[in-house]
Amino acid sequence: MLHRFLPQNIETRRKLPERIFRTSVSAENKEIVLPSRIESIDQAAEVVAGAVTEAGVDEGALFGIDLAVREAVANAVKHGNQLDETKQVRISFETTPQRFEITIRDEGAGFDFEHLPDPTDPANLLKESGRGAFLMRSFMDEVRWQAGGSVVTMTKNL
């Protein structure tokens, strides 16, 4: 499997030269470490989309994974690490023929993930924010937070 991922990783490194702290690749899992800024959302999503496409994931599942990853990384960068570029977002993921699993860690204080308001409640429909976690749960089969909310693991059955 390694040879299938290697060229893509080289391409990824070429496109993201300076601020990706580290990217490592093994046969079926990857780790990315990114600074806490908005551009990191695209960078993370690109690496994940490349890997899951390579793994043969269909377009419908890819759309959901891509959206959920963007939302989770956006939460980590903006809410977790408060856009402090010295703080890292660490992302590790694994793709098997049966499932895709990704864990995103930030250095923030976490949040009350057990009491997230329902954005589809009529009282919340016109709120500007609060839909990120809802979309993650909508498009992934499982979303679980740990470490007070600073670590999230999402799973999609393929």
- Site residues for another protein per CB under 8 A: 38, 41, 63, 67, 70-71, 74, 78, 119-120, 125-129, 131-132, 134-135, 138
Minimum distance between the CB of residue 76 and another protein, rounded to whole angstroms? 12
Q: Where are the alpha helices (DSSP H) in 1-158?
A: 2-15, 39-54, 59-74, 132-139
Cβ-based neighbour number of residue 14 at 10 Å: 8
Closer to another protein by CB, 9 or 137: give it.
137
Residue 93's H or E segment, with its range, is strand 88-95
Closer to another protein by CB, 25 or 72: give it.
72
HSE at residue 93, side-chain half, CA atoms within 13 A, is 28
Closer to another protein by CB, 99 or 127: give it.
127
Minimum distance between the CB of residue 138 and another protein, rounded to whole angstroms? 5
